[in-house]
């Protein structure tokens, strides 16, 4: 919401619909907003948003009711209008429709997919359809969520190379917002991988300088290619380097951004028990007092233990987020002055 308010204005342009928190049960990472037409393009430029979906609601008890003549026509019209708006705003076209719903292979859902596809003159493609429509029940009816772009907004055009454990680019951008560094920030990104955090920071702040490093030369080559594709290679320098001993001088940085290995796709839980304390000690050494460490990890217990008791950090933000099948922890820590 922070980026939304900063870019679009808190009150006038957008209105949050407090009764309507979408997303999956138990998750509050999707919010419903009323977006006036002139703000639609700006909404699609938000960098912390994973995807924009148009919400179509129908007060029917069962999806079968959507297939009756009148509703079916209304549905097709609503979807066609949503697609026309989306295409006008982003310029991107769709090639096929994909319906995502519980029981997608049932007769009713198959007929629903066919009716929707017919309404927009597209074929149905269950695997590669880029007009993604999610159908799900609500307390008082059924809702269709129509993704307004062929790819999620989190899929960045700069990503010409990927690595195992690559961070979602929208989450990377959100970390930058949460840390709220000064303009022209001097930052480091240990465990750079494909460079997601470094590149998103450099795109958000045109004067930022980021030193990325990673133990793996292939990751470094990948991050460099991505940085070049993003047009930030002059400000994002990625080198082979070990997060156990940084090249950066004492108190030389305003910000450290990191997603150290979580011990599943990359690294091991055992290795992390040695890696994490060293990483935190190096971040504390290299940050100036008041500088911040913004990081995301799925090593919850290990991290909790490392932050327990007095130490060099003040917790500024502390929240759990969703990332793929994980529920990692996002932390923004501020480096205390040595005698604080």
Ligand X SMILES: C[S@@+](CC[C@H](N)C(=O)[O-])C[C@H]1O[C@@H](n2cnc3c(N)ncnc32)[C@H](O)[C@@H]1O
Binding residues for ligand X (CB under 6 A): 163, 165-167, 190-191, 193-194, 196-197, 214-216, 219, 242-244, 259, 261, 266-267, 275
Q: Do 181 and 207 contact (CB within 8 A), yes or no?
A: no
Q: Which alpha helices (DSSP H) does 186-268 contain, by range?
A: 196-204, 217-230
Residue 53 C-beta: closest distance to ligand X, Å = 24
Residue placing its CB nearer to ligand X in the complex, 275 or 286: 275
CB atoms under 10 Å from CB of 151, counted, come to 13
Residue 215 C-beta: closest distance to ligand X, Å = 4
Residue placing its CB nearer to ligand X in the complex, 144 or 233: 233
Pairing state between β 141-147 and 53-58: antiparallel
Helix (H) or strand (E) holding 302: helix 300-307
Residue placing its CB nearer to ligand X in the complex, 63 or 166: 166
Pairing state between β 236-240 and 253-258: unpaired
* E strands present in the chain: 15-21, 31-34, 53-58, 97-100, 131-138, 141-147, 186-190, 209-214, 236-240, 253-258, 287-297, 313-320, 329-335
Residue placing its CB nearer to ligand X in the complex, 142 or 279: 279
Residue 175 C-beta: closest distance to ligand X, Å = 10
Residue placing its CB nearer to ligand X in the complex, 138 or 264: 264
As a whole number of angstroms, the distance between CA 315 and CA 336 comes to 10
CB atoms under 10 Å from CB of 339, counted, come to 5
Residue 160 C-beta: closest distance to ligand X, Å = 13
Q: Which of 246, 257, 248, 247 has its CA nearest to residue 297?
A: 257
Residue placing its CB nearer to ligand X in the complex, 141 or 267: 267
Residue 51 C-beta: closest distance to ligand X, Å = 18
Q: Which of 57, 45, 154, 136 has its CA nearest to residue 99?
A: 136
Residue 326 C-beta: closest distance to ligand X, Å = 11
Nearest residue by C-beta to ligand X? 193
Residue 190 C-beta: closest distance to ligand X, Å = 6
Residue placing its CB nearer to ligand X in the complex, 31 or 228: 228
CB atoms under 10 Å from CB of 282, counted, come to 19
């Amino acid at each position: 919401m922070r980026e939304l308010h900063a870019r679009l204005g808190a009150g006038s342009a957008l209105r949050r619909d407090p009764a309507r928190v979408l997303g999956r049960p138990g998750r509050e990472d999707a919010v419903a907003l009323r977006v006036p037409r002139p703000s639609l393009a700006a909404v699609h430029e938000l960098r912390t948003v994973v995807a924009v979906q148009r919400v179509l609601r129908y007060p029917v008890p069962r999806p079968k009711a959507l297939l009756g003549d009148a509703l079916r026509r209304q549905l097709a019209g609503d979807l066609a209008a949503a697609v026309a708006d989306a295409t006008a705003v982003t310029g991107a076209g769709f090639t096929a429709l994909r319906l995502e719903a519980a029981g997608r292979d049932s007769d009713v859902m198959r007929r629903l997919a066919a009716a929707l596809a017919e309404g927009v003159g597209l074929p149905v493609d269950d695997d590669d359809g880029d007009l993604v429509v999610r159908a799900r029940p609500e307390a008082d009816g059924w809702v269709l969520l129509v993704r307004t772009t062929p790819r999620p907004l989190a899929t960045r055009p700069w990503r010409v190379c990927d690595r195992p454990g690559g961070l979602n680019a929208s989450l990377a951008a959100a970390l930058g917002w949460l840390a709220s560094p000064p303009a022209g920030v001097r930052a480091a990104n240990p465990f750079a991988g494909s460079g997601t955090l470094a590149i998103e920071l450099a795109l958000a702040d045109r004067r930022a300088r980021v030193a990325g490093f990673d133990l793996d030369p292939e990751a470094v080559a990948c991050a460099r290619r991505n940085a070049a594709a993003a047009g930030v290679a002059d400000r994002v320098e990625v080198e082979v380097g070990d997060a156990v001993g940084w090249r950066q001088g004492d108190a030389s940085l305003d910000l450290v951004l990191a997603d150290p290995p979580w011990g599943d796709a990359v690294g091991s839980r055992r290795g992390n028990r040695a890696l994490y304390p060293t990483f935190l000690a190096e971040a504390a050494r290299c940050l100036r007092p008041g500088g911040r460490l913004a990081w995301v990890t799925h090593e919850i217990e290990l991290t909790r233990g490392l932050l327990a008791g007095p130490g060099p950090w003040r917790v500024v933000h502390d929240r759990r987020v969703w990332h793929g099948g994980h529920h990692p922890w996002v932390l923004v820590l501020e480096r205390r002055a040595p005698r604080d």
